[in-house]
Chain A
Amino acid sequence: GDSVTQMEGPVTLSEEAFLTINCTYTATGYPSLFWYVQYPGEGLQLLLKATKADDKGSNKGFEATYRKETTSFHLEKGSVQVSDSAVYFCALERTNAGKSTFGDGTTLTVKP
């Protein structure tokens, strides 16, 4: 079945540091890939997405590239801020799956 594996957290960085959160997936065909962010006490929000190989999703300074050859969708940001502290979820959805598959989430804490 489909699965998403995220880098284990928690991740703690200093402000302005470079961020990478690894995400790899297992799925047949060509799923769409997503990153969601959950701020404390809130629901998940869609951060970015990519729907085909080599697509790059970007939003709020975050980027992720759909790598079919390595089945990966790593999240990156060049310079994190304290306000980026949140839980980040990687997810996939196949065309006929009926529902998304989520990773377990990675908690990011950014210290001033």
Chain B
Amino acid sequence: IAGITQAPTSQILAAGRRMTLRCTQDMRHNAMYWYRQDLGLGLRLIHYSNTAGTTGKGEVPDGYSVSRANTDDFPLTLASAVPSQTSVYFCASSPGQGSPYGYTFGSGTRLTVV
């Protein structure tokens, strides 16, 4: 079934540790996105990529980095985790910038930083 695979599903991480959240899509979508979802704060965009080889900052990029080496993969890295990064992280994709088709979302990674 075409879609987005995120890994891990959940993780408990010690503060100060480095962590990479994985995101892979098999739809050949050009654009990919990382969001975090916190209770009462809705979805907040962390980073995005409109095409392989390019990335951009969203509204809450501090403490996170991304890369887009190819079309399918868009990993999100926390260089040194802090408790405020405890959240549910969603990866999403769309055919392209300004697409009228909407986004496809993954099932999320629940991250707890202790």
Contact = CB atoms under 8 A, between A and B. Distances in A.
Interface stretch (A12-20, A67-75, A77-85, A95-103): A95-103
Interface string B59-83: 0000000000000000000000000
Contacts, number: 63
B98 interface: yes
B8 interface: no
A110 B20 CA distance: 38
A66 to B, nearest CB: 12
Contact of A99 (B33, B90, B100): B33
Contacts of B25: none
A65 to B, nearest CB: 16
B42 A104 contact: yes
A45 B105 contact: yes
A89 B44 CA distance: 13
A102 B102 CA distance: 11
A44 B108 CA distance: 9
A5 B46 CA distance: 21
Contacts of A97: 97-98
B42 A103 contact: yes
Interface of A: 32, 34, 36, 42-46, 49, 51, 89, 91, 93-100, 102-105
13 contacts: A43-B4, A46-B102, A93-B99, A93-B102, A96-B97, A96-B98, A98-B56, A98-B98, A99-B33, A99-B45, A103-B42, A104-B41, A105-B43
